[in-house]
């Protein structure tokens, strides 16, 4: 029994874990957080919560928090605590020195999908308006950047089309590359409820996730495809829809370009996309492909939900476009119960992308080379801006190894643990002269840092997060920043130490600037958010109350665009040396690399990662349940305990990546999405063998 004491007052705020964006009542006694209660009026969660949002906030007061800025000359030196003034002045002078010695492009920033919209807006502004380059990227690069590209090309904007409530009117739910009951638990429960009410479920996933078969829920079709064959399977669904004339001609003629559709229809109808050919390639029963296609096209309102099993592939962007093609071909867009819905992993992936974190786009997804857009920012910011796209994370690391990139400011992101090909990340960081890590804890990346700036938790600041349904939710300051500054204040101090004159005194002023510069946010104010509880963008003159469902009367780009989605096999191939395919995911109680969840006092947050192995693969290698196994790929090797299960098919192994000791990214490769460089985390050819755990 835990004695929690009586709360004295409360504030409504937003969970800082996944992209569902649940609202919570933070109950406090003085400046102490007593408990978090799911908020019944929260429009994303309607009073529900999962174990993470409800209980995993203890990290905010954990003893591992670093509360003083620290500096060291070399990464082999011990850290030296310094004042904020000294740390900020050191960062500014180092960044200016590097630009003087190595050029304007020699430094950059990485923003975080964990931080608020306002903080993210300021970090990309720091790069563009103060550094004078567009070297800004976001950790969304390594998760949903293909969503940005794929939906931008087909529909005209990078965003889920529906609100979560829309699922109440879905008749067919297609889940691909996502495991909502673990990754997005509150929405996962909602999916289960809808399926229990009679909606039909199609799951496309190499693994038998819980949704496939759980009490009172059973998928009508599970397509356990071989990792890396998403595009082939989705195009084969389209083959069935076109060759059996199951498409919605009226919708296509009205909302899309009929000639483009016909060109696409000719392509998908080819024999190479038939269920038999694709079945042989992907390992999926051709009759399951046919059944799934018929159900999706003719079963009523069809909604697609997808996750990182779609995006984190060498054809991630192509897969997103293949999903969009299916929805357009069947008319499953622009009304309740249908749509294309990326399930965002982190709390503010949507917002991080919206706020212009990518090196080629200003806030609102507008390319830096568009003169009128750039000039509008120049007028408001009072500086001239660079019209060339900057460097992506991987380009920054490559340039560092080559010697032209020298300094980086990383806010709220542990790139050493999160990004693929750990050895290359380490080499890039080690080659830089000034690595500034701004975070809660001394994370793995901080091993390569010269400056550490203490970060603030979501409980210590005001701001907003935007969830997977484009809902802008308020984050409210529940306690005083333990290190003295909220993250947005630190960015402002760096900018001003480098010569800017930013004068924000509250994040609401940053939101006012976002509204001034970003067409989909022009109607957003803190007053409106307080009045409505939350708002879904676009919120502007045309939609002053926000927009629950996108593309109702027409696509943002005008006509929806059908794009041929040729299947191209990844270069990551199995062979005699590495005969198995490794893919990865999450469990409900943990969150990403576990920096927060592992620092919460409850044993559920300390379970180790396991490697799931099919009994057939385990037997031939002499591996038993609970044994240590060595996993080797061409990139590296690590060891994990085995979990023998038929959740994975023979030839496929699976692990989560919540513990640093797992080192899953030591084995992932440097292959990435052709359009966005999103890493191919989901396909790694490996071999496994018994190990002693060393």
Q: Binding residues for ligand SF4, per CB under 6 A?
A: 15, 17-18, 20-22, 45, 49-50, 52-53, 184-186
State which residue, 191 or 449, has the beta carbon closest to ligand SF4: 191
State which residue, 21 or 412, has the beta carbon closest to ligand SF4: 21
State which residue, 22 or 353, has the beta carbon closest to ligand SF4: 22
Q: Do residues 138 and 130 lie in contact, with contact meaning Cβ atoms separated by under 8 Å? A: no
Distance of CA 79 to the CA centre of its chain: 32
Whole-number CA gyration radius for the chain: 24
Using DSSP's 3-state secondary structure scheme, residue 660 falls into helix
State which residue, 20 or 33, has the beta carbon closest to ligand SF4: 20
- Long-range CB contacts for residues 30-37, cutoff 8 Å, separation at least 24: 31/479, 31/480, 32/479, 33/57, 33/60, 33/459, 33/478, 33/479, 34/4, 34/5, 34/6, 34/7, 35/4, 35/7
Name the minimum Å distance from CB 26 to ligand SF4. Answer: 13
Name the minimum Å distance from CB 611 to ligand SF4. Answer: 25
Residue 279: closest CA among 264, 266, 289: 289
Q: Which tokens belong to 415? A: 């790139």
Rounded Cα gap, residues 425 and 445, in angstroms: 9
Rounded Cα gap, residues 270 and 693, in angstroms: 49
Rounded Cα gap, residues 199 and 55, in angstroms: 32
Name the minimum Å distance from CB 318 to ligand SF4. Answer: 28
Name the minimum Å distance from CB 610 to ligand SF4. Answer: 21
Name the minimum Å distance from CB 19 to ligand SF4. Answer: 7
* Environment class of 405 (CB within 10 Å of its CB; exposed 0-12, middle 13-18, buried 19+): buried
State which residue, 469 or 627, has the beta carbon closest to ligand SF4: 469
Name the minimum Å distance from CB 592 to ligand SF4. Answer: 11
State which residue, 45 or 565, has the beta carbon closest to ligand SF4: 45
Name the minimum Å distance from CB 38 to ligand SF4. Answer: 7
Q: For residue 658, give Cα distances in angstroms to 180, 223, 270, 423, 594.
A: 17, 27, 43, 19, 5
Q: Do residues 238 and 332 lie in contact, with contact meaning Cβ atoms separated by under 8 Å? A: no
Q: Which tokens belong to 357? A: 């974190």
Residue at shortest CB range from ligand SF4: 53
Tokens 């409106």 correspond to what residue?
528
Name the minimum Å distance from CB 136 to ligand SF4. Answer: 26
State which residue, 159 or 237, has the beta carbon closest to ligand SF4: 159
Name the minimum Å distance from CB 180 to ligand SF4. Answer: 9
* Environment class of 354 (CB within 10 Å of its CB; exposed 0-12, middle 13-18, buried 19+): buried
Name the minimum Å distance from CB 240 to ligand SF4. Answer: 34
Name the minimum Å distance from CB 46 to ligand SF4. Answer: 11
State which residue, 181 or 273, has the beta carbon closest to ligand SF4: 181
Containing 612, the helix (H) or strand (E) segment is: strand 610-613
Q: For residue 640, what are the β-bridge partners?
A: 629
State which residue, 128 or 344, has the beta carbon closest to ligand SF4: 344
State which residue, 297 or 349, has the beta carbon closest to ligand SF4: 349
Name the minimum Å distance from CB 185 to ligand SF4. Answer: 5
Q: Do residues 597 and 52 lie in contact, with contact meaning Cβ atoms separated by under 8 Å? A: yes
Name the minimum Å distance from CB 211 to ligand SF4. Answer: 15
Rounded Cα gap, residues 191 and 179, in angstroms: 11
State which residue, 50 or 327, has the beta carbon closest to ligand SF4: 50
CA angle 652, 654, 659 (to 5 degrees): 160
Rounded Cα gap, residues 465 and 120, in angstroms: 10
Q: Provide the CB-side half-sphere exposure for 226 (13 A, CA).
A: 21
Q: Which tokens belong to 231? A: 């595009």
State which residue, 18 or 321, has the beta carbon closest to ligand SF4: 18
State which residue, 108 or 183, has the beta carbon closest to ligand SF4: 183
Q: Do residues 84 and 485 lie in contact, with contact meaning Cβ atoms separated by under 8 Å? A: yes
């Amino acid at each position: 029994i835990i004695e929690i004491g009586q709360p004295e007052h409360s504030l409504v705020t937003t969970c800082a874990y996944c992209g569902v964006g649940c609202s919570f009542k933070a109950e406090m006694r003085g400046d102490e957080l007593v408990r978090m209660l799911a908020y019944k009026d929260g429009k994303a969660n309607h009073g529900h919560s999962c174990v993470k949002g409800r209980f995993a906030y203890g990290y905010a007061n954990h003893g591992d928090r670093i509360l003083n800025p620290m500096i060291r000359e070399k990464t082999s030196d011990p850290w030296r605590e310094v004042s904020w003034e000294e740390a900020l002045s050191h960062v500014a002078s180092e960044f200016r020195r590097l630009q003087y010695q190595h050029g304007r492009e020699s430094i950059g920033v990485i923003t975080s999908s964990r931080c608020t919209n306002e903080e993210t807006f300021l970090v990309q502004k720091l790069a563009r308006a103060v550094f004078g380059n567009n070297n800004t990227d976001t950790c969304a690069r390594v998760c949903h950047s293909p969503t940005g590209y794929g939906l931008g090309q087909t529909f005209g904007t990078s965003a889920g089309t529906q609100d979560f409530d829309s699922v109440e009117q879905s008749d067919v739910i297609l889940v691909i590359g996502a495991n909502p009951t673990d990754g997005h638990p509150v929405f996962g429960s909602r999916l289960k409820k809808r399926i229990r009410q009679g909606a039909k479920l199609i799951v496309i996933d190499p693994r038998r996730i819980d949704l496939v078969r759980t009490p009172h829920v059973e998928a009508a079709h599970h397509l356990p495809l071989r990792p890396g064959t998403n595009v082939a399977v989705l195009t084969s669904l389209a083959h069935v829809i076109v060759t059996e004339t199951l498409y919605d001609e009226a919708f296509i003629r009205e909302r899309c370009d009929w000639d483009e559709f016909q060109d696409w229809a000719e392509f998908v109808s080819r024999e190479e996309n038939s269920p038999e050919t694709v079945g042989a390639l992907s390992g999926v029963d051709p009759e399951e492909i046919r059944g799934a296609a018929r159900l999706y096209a003719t079963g009523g309102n069809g909604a697609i939900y997808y996750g990182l099993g779609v995006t984190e592939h060498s054809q991630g962007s192509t897969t997103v476009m293949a999903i969009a093609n299916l929805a357009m071909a069947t008319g499953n867009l622009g009304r309740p119960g249908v749509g294309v819905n990326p399930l965002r992993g982190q709390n503010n992936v949507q917002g991080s992308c919206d706020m212009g974190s990518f090196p080629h786009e200003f806030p609102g997804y507008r390319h830096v080379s568009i003169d009128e857009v750039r000039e509008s920012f120049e007028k408001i910011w009072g500086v001239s801006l660079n019209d060339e796209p900057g460097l992506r994370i991987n380009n920054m690391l490559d340039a560092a190894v080559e010697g032209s990139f020298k300094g980086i400011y990383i806010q709220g992101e542990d790139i050493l643990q999160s990004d693929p090909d750990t050895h290359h990340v380490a080499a890039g960081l080690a080659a830089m002269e000034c690595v500034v890590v701004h975070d809660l804890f001394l994370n793995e990346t901080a091993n390569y840092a010269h400056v550490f700036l203490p970060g603030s938790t979501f409980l210590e600041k005001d701001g907003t997060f935007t969830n997977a349904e484009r809902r802008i939710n308020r984050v409210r300051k529940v306690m005083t920043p333990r290190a003295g500054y909220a993250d947005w204040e630190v960015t402002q101090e760096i900018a001003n130490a480098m010569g800017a004159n930013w004068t924000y005194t509250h994040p609401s002023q940053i939101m006012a600037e976002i509204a001034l510069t970003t067409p989909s946010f022009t109607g957003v104010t803190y007053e409106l958010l307080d009045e409505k509880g939350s708002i879904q963008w676009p919120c502007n003159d045309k939609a002053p109350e926000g927009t629950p469902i996108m593309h109702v009367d027409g696509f943002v780009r005008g006509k929806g665009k059908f794009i041929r989605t040729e299947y191209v096999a990844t270069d990551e191939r199995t062979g005699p040396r590495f005969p198995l395919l490794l893919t990865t995911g999450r469990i409900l109680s943990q969150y990403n690399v576990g920096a927060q969840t592992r620092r919460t006092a409850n044993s559920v947050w300390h379970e180790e990662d396991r490697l799931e192995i099919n009994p057939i693969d385990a037997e031939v290698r002499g591996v038993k349940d609970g044994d240590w196994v060595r996993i080797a790929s061409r990139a590296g090797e690590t060891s994990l305990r085995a979990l023998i299960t038929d959740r994975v098919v023979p030839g496929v192994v699976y692990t989560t990546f919540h513990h640093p000791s797992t080192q899953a990214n030591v084995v992932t490769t440097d292959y990435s999405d052709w359009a966005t460089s999103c890493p191919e985390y989901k396909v790694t050819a490996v071999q496994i063998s018994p190990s002693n755990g060393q």
